[in-house]
Amino acid sequence: MKRVIPLVLLSALAACSSNSTPLKAVKQPVANGPKNIIMVIGDGMGPAYTTAYRLFKDDPSTATIESTVFDDILVGRSSTAPAQISGYVTDSAASATALASGHKSYNGAIGVDTNKMPVQSVLEYAKSIGKATGLVVTSQINHATPASYAAHVEQRNQYDDIADQYFDRKINDSHVVDVMLGGGWKYFIRPDRDLTKEFQKDGYQYINDYAQLNSINSDQVLGLFADKGLPWALDDKQPHRLKKMTMAAVDRLDNNEQGFFMLVEGSQIDWAGHSNDIAAAMAEMDDLAHTLQWLKSYVVNHPDTLVIVTADHSTGGFTIAANGEYKWTPDVLSNLKNSPQAIAKQQKKHGFDHKKISELLGLNLTKQESDTLEQAHADGKKSLHSALKKLLDTRSNTGWTTGGHTGVDVPVFSFGSGSEKFSGQQDNTDIAKRIFALLGK
């Protein structure tokens, strides 16, 4: 049976932790730091992903390879190892806890140290000094990364407990997070509790459709747009949904005179890596890139804003070129109408259709490719999904070494007020420590 940290103890434990303050803190001015801080995490986005995105977006008709937003804002890199008890390769929970609190912890830990004691996050501290706070993600909003900034449980899979803490825990007599946008109906609307109604009773506006992002009239918002995570960018009616949610969140948070702290996560880059799905990975990277381009324009008009971007780890052992061949041809990924997963589902429902599958892939299939896919279709949806990903890997010459995480260092990007503090080689805990310092702690 999972041990849940009692809510009654959280406040006291937080006060005792070496990097924590009581949940009800005295508001204080912040000297010499940026008014707004936006932390962006590309989950699973190791260095191969940003390089691949540059090549994916390259215009082959020009003599040079064009740079992307990631190239323009690169400042350093970060090590990612968890606490020694978990070895050298981190999961998202331990890494997010490090990025949020400055504390190393074990794989699976959400906002707690190796002794399972709560540690204060930069978001929580920002809230305690009067800043507005936000979480914007493409996973469920109580997934490992966002949870590590706003909750404290011993294991990342305690999804209901995390959702409950989003409502039950208070800082300065208000909920920890003012704006929450992402997926997660499953965990917020349950037989035992409907958190959407509880939030609404406390003055939050609840929305459940992207179209409603344009008509938010409250500075406290809960937006849930899927049962768990959002659809793949390739399948979503709003392919740049992270950008759209980020714009809506900033619009509300910006109303706070003392500024805001916001966590933005391109969550499904990681999921694409776990699935070894190069098509989904590049579409998720594109969503994140569009988000960063918009944030750059926001910082131009709001120079008192800092944006830090990094990954929690790398996923999939993704390699640009495979099988000893010195080539990578990402152009074959440019015309997909849906993700391989959605194509497999559609084909299983309606029967194998060579013409339709070619159209959805945006490719002219050879007879051998078509025969291979038809045989996979006969073996079931899962087999067809795997065959579609394999076809795209073969066509693009993409390689993968694992369905899990790897231990490589990850890039760090930053722009805006105070961005120079994140340059060079650093540990993931250093990022949180520098944010705390900028917040005046």
Alpha-carbon distance of 279 to 277, in angstroms, equals 6
Q: What's the DSSP call for residue 415?
A: E
H helix intervals, 58-131: 69-73, 92-101, 122-128
For residue 289, which of 36, 35, 67 has the smallest C-alpha distance?
A: 67
The catalytically annotated residue of 17, 78, 92, 314 is: 92
101 burial level (CB within 10 Å; 0-12, 13-18, 19+): buried
Cα 118 to chain centroid, rounded: 22
For residue 138, CA distances in Å to 93, 95, 107, 246, 265 come to 16, 18, 22, 11, 7
Alpha-carbon distance of 181 to 193, in angstroms, equals 20
For residue 93, which of 149, 131, 40 has the smallest C-alpha distance?
A: 149
For residue 120, which of 25, 3, 253 has the smallest C-alpha distance?
A: 25
* Active-site residue, 92 included: yes
Helix (H) / strand (E) element for 182: namely strand 179-183
- As annotated, the active-site residues are 92
